[in-house]
Structure 1
């Protein structure tokens, strides 16, 4: 084989192998996990109009990088119907606003809205000294990227949360009860644009709360979020401090309802 033929053969082989590696780049063998932190402030309301119907609302300010940067403003509204003593159903709308992670980019909007419908069933387990809640929630989300004029796409989210409340200084929940609260919630998403990232998030929380009165409750605690970060092998671990205030009130006169902690959402 002369030198020209050898050169042509080597060039062809190099081209073939280069093309193969370009089309099938090496895949990572381990997860890439980034970390972040933030602070979430929440105000939860539940106002009963009668024994069956109530207004439900959530209002959140969520910060990232500690308390330095805005992440979200999150507004949730709903109507709750009491099906049975320990079973409620709620449906309504959600209006969150997301702050772009790179607002200096001229091609992105600094703040992007999202539009959602949501439905929820909460089952309370009637133990004597502790309170256990099973929450099933579905959401239909119209969301878009931060790129200017990008279209809204419909996706679906399914959530299950198990919450436990344990009183510390009294045998049951009443005024001036100090308690421990803990929950775990898993998020699954679906839709045309969801290809491989069906698992979205898992949130674990532990905190301490105090019943200030029959109407007001305060809670503070730590939440660990482990969520998908946009590719098959990238994930984000978030360390979140949460502070929440709850207001639960009967607007109809002459009635009596057993007060119970409002589940965290």
Structure 2
């Protein structure tokens, strides 16, 4: 009798779960819902070498949405870089971005929400005679919360892979006053207890031009297309973003061979 009741409740539970799942799936639309947005990202990248092995790494961004009209994000990344080999760098550090809520007039949300992350990165180059090809693997541990007032911080993890290509256009090699083509693709995957269906978070493609103003200063500008998840199983966002970035590199110890040993900022 007891076994029969156990089987009955088990079958009933399975049937109830199946009906609930069917109802949830059936409530989803048959097609993807896509929105389109645009923005402007301004970035400043730094890399300051203190000796043959150690360097300070920093990124500082101002990101706007709706063209240049609305503030979207201030992004501060700090790290310590260690040179493992001629073409290999590793970095660890801390990130503190601030996000502006899309609806600043909503009384139920905080207009600006902070986020806290730790991060680790490995960058290695595939050496060629006239072009530069870089692989970047970045891992982030993110403590993030929603815009709603009183929301709790939740831990999620993000895994990023970026492939970057530089091609000189007016000179056979990279030196002062070199104009070059800059392209990259970066894929974002996220995980964690609160990540249910949106594991593939973002895919970014960039194409632009760069110019070496000097050994210490470089500028890049171009267009970035981003296709990312937008908070529901069927919602996605196409982003069209203009990027302008300044790169500053300093070496505080004198060594004429530093260019052969250190990876440049990218």
Correspondence for 2:192: 191
233-242 vs 253-262, greater mean Cα deviation: 253-262
What is the rounded CA distance, in whole Å, between the counterparts of 1:261 and 1:176 in structure 2?
16
Query: Structure 2 residue aligned with 1:262, among 238, 241, 265?
Result: 265
- Find the counterpart in structure 2 of residue 150 from structure 1: 151
**Cα distance in structure 1, aligned partners of 2:28 and 2:57:** 47
Aligned to 1:216: 217
1:161 corresponds to 2:162: yes
**Matches of 1:198 and 1:175, distance apart in 2:** 42
Unaligned runs of 5+ residues in structure 1 are 1-18
User: Which residue of structure 2 aligns with residue 251 of structure 1?
Assistant: 252
Matches for 1:27-38 after TM superposition, within 5 Å: 27-38=28-39
Q: Distance in 2 between matches of 1:176 and 1:59?
A: 24
Partner residue in 2 for 1:70: 71
Corresponding residue for residue 3 of structure 1: none
- Per-residue CA deviations over 1:179-223 (Å, capped at 9, x if unaligned) read 000000000000000001101000000000000000000000000
1:262: Cα distance to partner?
Answer: 1.5
Aligned-partner Cα distance in 2 for 1:255–1:101: 49
Compute the displacement of 1:29 (Å): 1.7
Take 1:141 and 1:44, find their aligned partners in 2: how far apart are those partners? 21
Q: How does 1:124-139 map to 2 (within 5 A)?
A: 124-139=125-140
Structure 1 segments (4+ residues) deviating >6 Å: none
CA deviation after TM superposition for structure 1 residue 28, in Å? 1.6
Deviation (angstroms), 1:254? 4.2
Contact kept? 1:202, 1:226, Cα under 8 Å: yes
* TM-score for the superposition, normalised by structure 2: 0.89
In 1, the alpha carbon distance for the partners of 2:29 and 2:178 equals: 50
Q: Is the 8 A contact 1:116 1:140 kept in 2?
A: yes
d(CA) in 2 for partners of 1:214, 1:145: 43
Give the unaligned 5+ runs of structure 2.
1-18
Give 1:107 deviation, angstroms.
1.2
Query: Which of structures 1 and 2 has the bigger CA Rg?
Result: 1
Provide the rounded CA distance (Å) in 2 between the counterparts of 1:135 and 1:65: 29
| More divergent stretch after superposition (101-110 vs 52-61) | 101-110
The structural deviation recorded for 1:27 is 2.8
Distance in 2, matches of 1:102 and 1:67, equals: 16
The corresponding residue for 1:234 is 235
The answer as to 2:122 corresponding to 1:121 is: yes
Question: Displacement, 1:253?
Answer: 2.7
User: Is the 8 Å Cα contact of residues 182 and 208 (structure 2) preserved in structure 1?
Assistant: yes
SS in 2 for 1:101: coil
Measure, in 1, the Cα distance between the counterparts of 2:225 and 2:249.
27
| Residue of structure 2 in register with 1:180 after alignment | 181
Residue number in structure 2 paired with 1:8: none
How far off its partner does 1:260 sit? 5.6
Secondary structure of 1:230's partner?
A: coil
1:42 corresponds in structure 2 to: 43
Does the CA-based 8 Å contact 2:35-2:238 persist in structure 1? yes
Give per-residue Cα distances to partners, 1:86-139, cap 9 Å, x unaligned.
Answer: 000000000000000111111111100000000000011111100000000000
